[in-house]
Amino acid sequence: MTSPSEDPADLDRHDPEAEISARAAAYRNWGRWGDDDVLGTLNFIDDATRARAASLVTSGRVVSLSQRFDTDGPQKGWRRRTNPVHTMTDTGVDAERGNQGFPHGIGGADDVIAMPLQCSTQWDGLGHIFDHGTAWNGRRAGDVVTSEGDLVTGIEHAASVIVSRGVLLDVGRHLFPETGELPDGHAITVADLEGTIAAQGASSAVGRGDIVVVRTGQYARTRREGWGEYAGGPAPGLSLTTAGWLHRTEIAAIATDTWGFEVRPNEFDVPAFQPLHQVVIPNLGLTIGEMWNLDELAEACAGRGRWDFLLSAPPLPITGAVGSPVNPVAIL
């Protein structure tokens, strides 16, 4: 079977159904890790992979790759996605007034947060996206995710898994060195990814079990100019034609500094919505991260001339969740 083209110019921009279907069929990993698998490409991470990744730590510097979780966030309410609402349930004022009911002068503060799990820096779990009613590994979507949550591939299964070698591909810096920022609507191609790897050098070579983080520079632009249409609007991101690269490199997971991972508007002249998600989550079993803050990491990697590091990014073990907020940390 001929592999789908990796040149965006070859896409039939009037037939997203066919372009998605061709890549889903070509790169489908169903059954690769058994009928009962719940991890998908995270299976590429094993103990030996983590041990090798730990050997990359030389300075001990830790860089958080998370946005802030507060009301000054990108969300605008689409599909009930709001920014986090943080509420204090006990405060220092209560303690001062002695109305908390504790003995011998002790007081305290407590708080609660309400938020969608995909409102800020996060992982998309394998139950987040379906392809024609089918979930990861060929299961019926309705058998996987019900009103009780993801009964099969809930994000809790990944809680002790996502620690591996991280590799930063600073595509923004490579393609637009003057600004370090890709323009909105720029579709990142396989040539862009491989060109970035070649320019950055051997430490950015990508292989089995790696977690790839792709910096477009859009997050830096929104922090300078305001959120604008960051949530759901035009954005740089991966082209649908990168699906084959995502498959053959055998990476464990991938994350970007954008709202939706793939290029927006999507690469079609007829209605389409997140076609690369539809290929890689339910068919490849690939875990995707979005809205990661990669700017400090990019400066650190450029300064030391190395682009790989130990990356720890476990999700919260929220039973049955199809995604999770995360505070990823790169340890250099």
**Using one digit for the tens of pLDDT, what is the confidence trace for 65-122?**
999 999 999 999 988 999 999 999 999 999 999 999 999 999 999 999 999 999 999 9
**Using one digit for the tens of pLDDT, what is the confidence trace for 116-153?**
999 999 999 999 999 999 999 999 999 999 999 999 99
**Using one digit for the tens of pLDDT, what is the confidence trace for 308-321?**
999 999 999 999 99
Beta strand residue intervals within 147-252, DSSP E: 149-150, 163-170, 187-188, 211-215, 237-238
With 90 as the cut, is the pLDDT of residue 47 above it? Answer: yes
pLDDT category, 2, cuts 50, 70, 90?
A: confident
CATH class of 9-77+116-331: alpha beta
With 90 as the cut, is the pLDDT of residue 281 above it? Answer: yes
Distance CA 204, CA 169 (A): 7
Q: Which residues contact 79 (CB under 8 A, 6 or more apart)?
A: none
**Using one digit for the tens of pLDDT, what is the confidence trace for 165-192?**
999 999 999 999 999 999 999 999 999 9
Distance CA 301, CA 134 (A): 40
pTM score, whole prediction: 0.96
Nearest Cα residue to 112 out of 92, 86, 93: 86
**Using one digit for the tens of pLDDT, what is the confidence trace for 186-222?**
999 999 999 999 999 999 999 999 999 999 999 999 9
Whole-number average pLDDT of the chain: 97
With 80 as the cut, is the pLDDT of residue 28 above it? Answer: yes
Give, in order, the Cα–Cα distances in Å from 227 to each of 72, 154, 174, 218, 221: 9, 30, 24, 10, 9
With pLDDT > 90 as the criterion, what percentage of the chain qualifies? Answer: 98
With 70 as the cut, is the pLDDT of residue 1 above it? Answer: no
- Residue 282, pLDDT score: 98
Measured in degrees and rounded to the nearest 5, phi and psi for residue 302 equal -65, -40
Q: Where are the domains of the chain?
A: 9-77+116-331, 84-114
